[in-house]
Amino acid sequence: MLTVLTVKEAQERIIASLNDTRTEKENIPVTDSLGRVTAREIVATEAVPPFARATMDGFAVRSSDTFGASESIPSLLTLKGHILMGKEPPGSLGTGEAMSIPTGGMLPPGSDSVVMLEYCEVLGNQVAVYRPAAPLENIVREGEDFQEGSLVLPAGHMIRFQDIGILSALGIMELEVYARPRVGIFSTGDEIVSPSEQPKPGQIRDINGFALSAQVLESGGEPQYCGIIADEKEGLKRGLLTSLERYDIVLISGGSSVGARDVAVEAINELPGGEVLFHGVSMKPGKPFIFGLSGGKPIFGLSGNPVSAMFSFILFVRPALRLMQGLSAFPAFSPYVEAFLDTNLSSPGGREDYVRVTLHEGPSTSGKEAPLRARPVFGGSSLLSTMVKGDGYFVIPRDVEGMLEGSKIKVFLF
């Protein structure tokens, strides 16, 4: 149980243990829904658009009336009337007839296309059409965007700005989403004081509390910083018990010494229904990582080293937060920036290395877009400055023992 897992194995165990754990569903106004996740599919309750509309200023016609029209021999149609924006057309269109129509105007029954203004000329109560119109030309049909009854958004979909647009079109003012997972965040360590305090010699301010809170926020969760607990088993158990009642997930960070790590493992194992599922992952930074459950709720034990804690969050806590709010554990596509490594890098193999890099424009070659170069940030994996100075990171896989200068890499931006 205490063997060191690969990143993938660790992720699979976490995902398996959270199998069906979802937060409650709740109704929220569409105006607050950006970034939230649909709890049920959304079906078009009406056609969008609700009627055929013109996409150009011009004349609504029957296309067959214009077939063969040309500059020299226009089709002459009877001007039947004018369609106004936002109004029903003044009747339907018969053979040989036309109505003027603005962009966005409602097509009259009987018409099937719009001839652009510049190809028409009004001559008294007649319209000369100098170009043939194809059926459906310059119109959007009723339901062409979404037909009544069609699927608009699946369940488990994160709402984007354009989704809010289609919900508006349908008049959906409220929707059911999964609640944001509530995350309780503790820091542990006898050396840790609050960021607002002046540390005494030997003490340092808590870095992880606020930084992890920001990561929770970015991942759609609702963070609650619960403060600092000493590295002592009974205190830790009390803190965990209280927060397991209030939150969906508990993060504890700290306890980087072997003794402190053991205390955290024991504390979790001694909770009611508590169990450490694994600890240790073959990655750097982020090796000291504990995953446990108590009463089905996940407890993540992150390193006291902030860089380590941040990568554990990205790889293990974020997928859990995604799952709990109804998403897949990992997004279907993760955007990146391609760059060329600008130095040789060694890696011991047998673990994944998460290398922080800065990006620089390389020399431009013959007017083409300059390729980017990625430079590893100097400094050990315990230095927060490697994260602060870095633009992003790339991964050296477990089965690779080093990378050569000039290797093409995918950099994931922070």
Site for its own copies, residues 336 to 375, rule: CB under 8 A = 336-338, 359, 372
10 Å CB burial of residue 109 (0-12, 13-18, 19+) is exposed
If the CB atoms of residues 96 and 371 are measured against its own copies, the closer one turns out to be 371
Q: Does residue 312 bind its own copies (CB under 8 A)?
A: no
If the CB atoms of residues 294 and 308 are measured against its own copies, the closer one turns out to be 308
- Output the DSSP codes for 142-179: TTSSB-TT-EEE-TT-B--HHHHHHHHHTT--EEEEEP
Smallest gap from residue 220 Cβ to its own copies (A):
13
Smallest gap from residue 247 Cβ to its own copies (A):
17
Which range touches its own copies (CB under 8 A), out of 8-16, 166-174, 175-183, 245-253? 166-174
Which range touches its own copies (CB under 8 A), out of 52-60, 74-82, 175-183, 278-286? 52-60
Site for its own copies, residues 263 to 302, rule: CB under 8 A = none
| One residue of 379, 395, 398, 407 binding its own copies per CB under 8 A | 379
Distance of CA 59 to the CA centre of its chain: 44
Residue 335: asked if its preceding bond is cis (omega within 30°), the reply is no
Q: Does residue 63 bind its own copies (CB under 8 A)?
A: no
| One residue of 209, 292, 298, 376 binding its own copies per CB under 8 A | 209
Q: Does residue 117 bind its own copies (CB under 8 A)?
A: yes
Smallest gap from residue 39 Cβ to its own copies (A):
18
Query: Rounded to the nearest 5°, which phi and psi values hold at 211?
Result: -65, -45
Helix (H) or strand (E) holding 277: strand 274-279
If the CB atoms of residues 55 and 126 are measured against its own copies, the closer one turns out to be 55
CA-wise closest residue to 112 among 132, 126, 87: 132
If the CB atoms of residues 48 and 240 are measured against its own copies, the closer one turns out to be 48
| One residue of 8, 12, 26, 34 binding its own copies per CB under 8 A | 34
If the CB atoms of residues 47 and 277 are measured against its own copies, the closer one turns out to be 47
Q: Does residue 169 bind its own copies (CB under 8 A)?
A: yes
| One residue of 132, 184, 304, 326 binding its own copies per CB under 8 A | 304
Distance between CA atoms of residues 127 and 361, nearest Å = 60
CA-wise closest residue to 52 among 1, 113, 4, 118: 113
CA-wise closest residue to 233 among 241, 223, 225: 241
| One residue of 332, 365, 366, 399 binding its own copies per CB under 8 A | 332
Q: Is 217 left (phi over 0), alpha (psi -120 to 50) or beta?
A: alpha
| One residue of 104, 110, 280, 362 binding its own copies per CB under 8 A | 104
Which range touches its own copies (CB under 8 A), out of 2-10, 63-71, 183-191, 317-325? 183-191
CA-wise closest residue to 106 among 55, 143, 144: 55
Smallest gap from residue 374 Cβ to its own copies (A):
11
10 Å CB burial of residue 361 (0-12, 13-18, 19+) is exposed
Q: Does residue 226 bind its own copies (CB under 8 A)?
A: no
| One residue of 19, 198, 365, 366 binding its own copies per CB under 8 A | 198
Distance between CA atoms of residues 166 and 379, nearest Å = 48
Q: Does residue 204 bind its own copies (CB under 8 A)?
A: yes
Q: Does residue 211 bind its own copies (CB under 8 A)?
A: yes
Tokens 């979802």 label which residue? 22
Q: Does residue 160 bind its own copies (CB under 8 A)?
A: yes
- CA angle 26-32-34, nearest 5°? 100
Helix (H) or strand (E) holding 242: helix 233-246
Which range touches its own copies (CB under 8 A), out of 14-22, 236-244, 264-272, 328-336? 328-336
